[in-house]
Amino acid sequence: MSEYHLDIDNQFGLLFDASECIGCGNCYEACKKENDLPATNPSRLGLAGADKDFLKDHLSDKTYTVVEEYGDIYARKMCMHCLEPACASVCPVGAFEKTELGPVLYNADKCIGCRYCMQACPHNVPRYEWGSTSPRVRKCILCYDKLKKDGITACAEACPVEATISGKLPDLITEAKRRIKENPDKYYPHIYGLEETGGSNVIIISPVPFEQLGYSSKVPKQSMPTFTMQAMEKIPTVVSVGGIFLTGMYWLTKRKNQLAKEENGKGKG
């Protein structure tokens, strides 16, 4: 586990406040622009449609973040950048990397395309380029380059109402707690991402229970890799005990057969 425990104090993160979000879609647009992603919803493609058609868009290999509409509340969906990411732990070739800054990055050159990351992600975030013959996994990278340079993500920069803010993770946690504490009526008393999957770099606060906004409440509170490690750490025991047992049985049964043969030989003589 220790490998994943990086210094949280220096990590960047994102705080999304669903009660502040006005559903303007600036973050959605900024994300598309920053990551050079093609337009994926009717109105932006120049087709006929309602003005806020981006609300109907969904995560895909061309869309790293979406804004979803739940009554009069808007909720953003994107990679949570877990502190101990399942995707990074399951990838057989280590194509995912939890950087020291916080973002979980993906290296397409390493990837073999087994899609275990997609299967393992508790938030169902990674998307695949199904249409390509050399497909890559696509997901939010927390604007890694921009974050390194400016210390802020494109979506946070574009947000007009401070519904999405980026910064150092401890500061964001403090800010989230402050908002909840100052307006206890406005918020559901829980910070999503603080405990889920053992903590993540993206944290969310909301006026209603998170289940109502499409955030899974089934996500375990412990870090995902521990589920696998419980089994993996038994491997050395299995190998050594099994090896000794089998070798022992090999010699024992061989000796037994030999003795039986000698016995027979004597009997005949």
Residue whose CB is less far from another protein, 174 or 253: 253
* Cα separation, 127 vs 1, whole angstroms: 26
Task: Tell the smallest beta-carbon distance from residue 68 to another protein (Å).
Answer: 15
> Which lies closer to another protein via its Cβ, residue 71 or residue 133?
133
Q: What is the DSSP string of 104-141?
A: EEE-TTT-----HHHHH-TT---EE-TT-SS--EE---
Rounded CA separation 237/58 (Å): 45
State the nearest-atom distance from the C-beta of 16 to another protein, in Å: 21
Shortest distance, CB of residue 3 to another protein, whole angstroms? 8
Q: Closer to another protein by CB, 11 or 89: give it.
A: 89
Cα separation, 31 vs 155, whole angstroms: 6
Nearer residue to another protein within complex by CB, 149 or 268: 268
* CA 140 to chain CA mean position, Å: 10
- Sequence-ordered alpha helix ranges (H) in the chain: 26-34, 86-90, 116-120, 144-150, 154-158, 169-182, 225-232, 235-268
Cα–Cα distance, 25 to 158 (Å, whole number) = 9
Closest distance between another protein and the C-beta of residue 136, in Å? Answer: 8
Q: Considering the complex, what minimum distance in angstroms separates the CB of residue 105 from another protein?
A: 14
Q: Which residue, 15 or 111, has its beta carbon nearer to another protein?
A: 111
Q: Which is nearer to another protein, 138 or 146 (CB)?
A: 138
CB of 85 to another protein, least distance (A): 11
Distance between CA atoms of 194 and 214, rounded to whole angstroms?
17
The residue among 178 and 221 lying less far from another protein, judged by its C-beta, is 221
In the complex, the residues that contact another protein under the rule CB under 8 A are 3, 59-60, 86, 89-95, 110-116, 118-120, 122, 124, 126-135, 216, 218-220, 224-225, 227-232, 235, 238-239, 242-243, 246-247, 249-250, 253-254, 256-257, 260-261, 264, 267-268
Q: What is the C-alpha to C-alpha distance for residues 252 and 259, in angstroms, rounded to an integer?
A: 11
Q: Give the whole-angstrom CA distance, residue 39 versus residue 246.
A: 61
Q: How far, in Å, CA of 267 to CA of 269, rounded?
A: 6
Give the nearest distance from C-beta 167 to another protein in angstroms.
29
Please report how many Cα atoms fall inside a 13 Å half-sphere around the Cα of residue 234, on the Cβ side: 7
CB of 162 to another protein, least distance (A): 31
User: Which of residues 174 and 264 has its CB atom nearest to another protein in the complex?
Assistant: 264
